[in-house]
Amino acid sequence: MELKIKSGYFSGFEKILWLVSLSSIIIFFCIFDRRGWLALTASLVGMHSLLLNAKGHPLGQALAVIFSVLYGIISFRSRYYGEMITYLCMTMPMAVFSLVSWLKNPFEEGKAEVAVNRLRRREILFMFCLATAVTVAFYFILNALNTANLIPSTLSITTSFLASYLTFRRSPYYAVAYAFNDIVLVILWTMMTIKNITYLSVTICFIVFLILDIYGFFCWRRMEINQTKSN
């Protein structure tokens, strides 16, 4: 698979989306934070990861590994232990597996685009059963750790697990799961923002992520249609 990002790889709309996302994150950081450089770095890394993921480019998964580490540290400092455990122990390893999976399954040799996969009903059922088991187990773990905002934190684990699994399996619906995860995270960090306005920049970050994930879903659906026609 060709990993080099060539000139003209991103469309005009994607360049505008990149500029608006970048500006929103930096502007809100400068106004409301100005000290949380780790959060800013994580936001920018995550933003570029999602934009590359929308294109089916494996480098998006490499950036997801870096984002998971940074966000895990931020979550630990905020006592969001569920987020810390999720990203360091699940999202990060799954991003590594996804990177390998995407590299091994290019749509065409010499093209920076992963082959879109369609899950069978049995696997979908298995995935939801596994997600249920993970959710129940982590509810009690997070409760024992006295995690802040327990219910939203538990829901974040559920949506993160589904998103990670679907990303690994190269399903377009990974973006839908991440969009739901973004909504949960917007709620979580809004709760923190009410207590401390400096967290508003993190909340804005996940609003940007939500928009990028929605765009990613439509990109993958278009990729799926185009790849089906080519075959």
Confidence of residue 202 (pLDDT cuts 50, 70, 90): confident
pLDDT of residue 214: 97
pTM, full prediction: 0.91
Give yes or no for residue 2 having a pLDDT over 70: no
Long-range contacts: 76-82, Cβ < 8 Å, 24+? 78/148, 78/192, 78/199, 79/146, 79/147, 79/148, 80/147, 80/148, 80/149, 80/153, 80/188, 81/142, 81/145, 81/147, 81/153, 82/138, 82/142, 82/147, 82/150, 82/153, 82/154, 82/156, 82/157
Better pLDDT: 112 or 217: 217
pLDDT reading at 231 higher than 80: no
Backbone phi, psi, residue 133, to 5° = -65, -40
Q: E strands, the chain, where?
A: none
Residue 64 in tokens: 């997801």
